[in-house]
Amino acid sequence: MVSLSAALALSQMLLLPLFLSPASFGIAILALSLVQYMNQAADLGFVNAATRTDLSPATRAYFRETAFTLVSWVALLALVALWMSTLFAGFRAEVAVPLAIGVLTGWLLTPNRLRANAAAAGGNERHALWYGFAWQNANKAGMFLLLPTANVALTMLSGGLASAAAGRPLLPRFTASVEYLRRTARYWVPGLAASFSAFLLSWTETYVLGAYFGEEAMGEYQAVLRPLAGAMYIYIPLMTLIQASVSVKDYSRARRIRVLVLVLTLGALVVGATVLHAWGSTLWPRYQFPLMLVCLCATAVLFGALSMSYGIELVVAGRQLLAAWINAGSAVALGLSAVLLVPHLGLNGAALSATAGWGLAALLQSWVVWRMRRRATP
């Protein structure tokens, strides 16, 4: 299923630019970012908190129910905001409708995410694998059905319907009071900090680019970045090996695996960057793949791989909140550099700011890991 998930993700990012214009692809990317937000941060970290083994099964189930309630409220508020913006702020319906579908898709995917979480907590690997696969891939598979229409709203709608068909729907049953959120803050705040900072690192420069130059520029930028980001399917499986090595304090093995991550990712990026620059415009005639932009995007992806390899070590060492703050600070630096660079350098400015943000995260995380190991060495 891991290989199929990787194939679906890569196919999505390779086929969307083939059928969609840069402007339509930019809208689709914006909608997909909302799907990711709904699944990554809208629950305020309660899904991450529900994975803690030091909590009772009843408490973890309560956290999952709270998570779905929060995601439902976020979805409702987002839909109202989009509707109001079209009525009173002149927001274009051809943009608002796909975004609304993206919000609904993220909400529809949440039940399977919660079921995967519950199955994993209960040791049911088969159900955890199935629900996890459905949560992560139903939308991707569904989008292919109506993608040939070249209509971004229909494409997102088919993904949303597939998400709804992949699992039984849920309705929120629990109202999370402010007092309850305050009392449980020590459980959900670390997870929220980690997931939201990771989301900002992934999307900030794209949002800034869209704010200055519109959805067409977003589509042109993501058409270069997303195929290169497919290198993550090479190094993500190796992260579990780093996690296992650090857990038994075999730091030398963790270091060797990190070098392997670097070498494999670099090799994949060299090949991918060469193909994109040489033949990208042949495969996707409506898009351009200039050498500078391709190289900057590849460098950002490489720094992202390094950051993840050091970040997983911090998490295993119990420094989740520190890792989240590093990502948050790097996201702020990325955003500031994007605001400064994008107006003058356009797409290159967005890629340069992404490189700076992920590079800063990798540098700070590696320094903290080095300090931890130095203190642990007698």
Q: Which two tokens stand for residue 305?
A: 């791989």
User: Per-residue confidence at 260, pLDDT binned at 50, 70, 90?
Assistant: confident
For 247-276, what is the mean pLDDT? Answer: 82
Length of the chain: 378
Same domain? For 56 and 200 the reply is: no
pLDDT tens digits, 308-320: 888 877 776 767 7
User: What is residue 100's predicted lDDT score, i.e. its pLDDT?
Assistant: 93
pTM of the model: 0.87
Cα-Cα-Cα-Cα dihedral sign, residues 291, 277, 347, 323: negative
Asked if residue 36 and residue 165 are part of one domain, the reply reads yes
Q: How is 293-352 classified by DSSP, letter by letter? A: HHHHHHHHHHHHHHHHHHHHHHHHTT-HHHHHHHHHHHHHHHHHHHHHHHHHHTHHHHHH
Nearest to 340 by CA among 357, 325, 328: 357
In angstroms, the Cα distances linking 119 to 61, 110, 139 are 11, 14, 21
Burial bucket for residue 210 (CB in 10 Å: 0-12, 13-18, 19+): buried
Last residue of a domain, one of 183, 214, 247: 183
Say yes or no: 256 and 370 in one domain: yes
Distance CA(193)–CA(331), nearest Å, equals 12
Q: What is the pLDDT of residues 63-106, one digit of tens each?
A: 888 899 999 999 999 999 999 999 888 888 889 999 999 999 88
10 Å Cβ neighbour count for 187?
19
Q: What is the pLDDT of residue 197?
A: 86
Together in a domain, 127 and 191 = no
Mean pLDDT of the chain: 85
Residue that terminates a domain, selected from 183, 214, 232:
183
pLDDT at 348: 96
Q: Which tokens go with 181? A: 């959120």
Enter the tokens of residue 268: 């994949």
Same domain, 195 and 142: no
Domain stop point among 183, 209, 243: 183
Indicate if 359 and 279 belong to the same structural domain: yes
pLDDT at 367 (0 to 100): 92
| Residue 5's pLDDT band (cuts 50, 70, 90) | low
Same domain, 352 and 214: yes
| 340 and 279, same domain (yes or no) | yes
Closest among 305, 280, 145 to 220, alpha carbons compared: 280
Q: Tally the domains of the chain.
A: 2
Chain-centroid distance of CA 21 in Å reads 23
Q: φ, ψ for residue 286 (rounded to 5)?
A: -85, 5
Q: Is the same domain home to 304 and 317?
A: yes
Same domain, 175 and 302: no
Are the beta carbons of 35 and 105 closer than 8 angstroms? yes
Question: What pLDDT shows up at residue 344?
Answer: 95
Question: 135: domain range?
Answer: 1-183
Same domain, 255 and 375: yes
Which pLDDT belongs to residue 218? 95
Instruction: Please give the residue that has the higher pLDDT: either 175 or 295.
Output: 295
Is 66 found in the same domain as 142?
A: yes
